[in-house]
Amino acid sequence: MVQGYGVTELCGQVTFIDGAGQRQKPQSVGRLLPGFTGAIVDQDDQPVPAGETGELVMRGPSLTSGYWRLPEATDELLRGGWLQTGDLLRADEQGYLTFVDRAKDMIKTGGENVYSAEGRRGDPGPPERG
């Protein structure tokens, strides 16, 4: 079994991890395939350190030229020549990526970033009151 992560605007799969890699890094979607360049960035498009969550931005040979007849949406999608995936990921020191959530699903509260996926990953929720 293998796993990957894909982006429609890059015409499909852009990462890969095989079975041996999955046993070592079970949460990872793998590393970027040859030919693709990516970075994990903050809201100011600045790279974040390894282990921190940010948006994955990418370039590659199969990058879309944009949305048909939607120049404003295309400008936002391809800001600075980088595809804005809208996906929040983390990269480790070896370049293995872990999917965290969609950027639009993140809520900022009390100086913290809260991801909707956190509640779906076995979180039992608040303790019962008795």
The pLDDT assigned to 23 comes to 95
What does the block give as tokens for 85? 């995936």
How buried is 7 (Cβ within 10 angstroms: 0-12 exposed, 13-18 middle, 19+ buried)? buried
Bridge partners of residue 113, in order along the sequence: 108
The pLDDT assigned to 114 comes to 72
Read off the pTM.
0.80
The pLDDT assigned to 112 comes to 73
What does the block give as tokens for 101? 């959530």
**Hey, what domains does the chain have and what are their CATH numbers?**
3-120 (2.30.38.10)
Written as one letter, the residue type at 98 is T
- Per residue of the chain (130 residues), give pLDDT as tens: 899 999 999 999 999 999 999 999 999 999 999 999 999 999 999 999 999 999 999 999 999 999 999 999 999 999 999 999 999 999 999 999 999 999 877 666 676 777 666 555 554 444 444 4
The pLDDT assigned to 20 comes to 95
**How far is 52 from 50, CA to CA, in rounded Å?**
6
The pLDDT assigned to 81 comes to 93
Going 74 to 76 to 81 to 87, the CA torsion angle's sign is negative
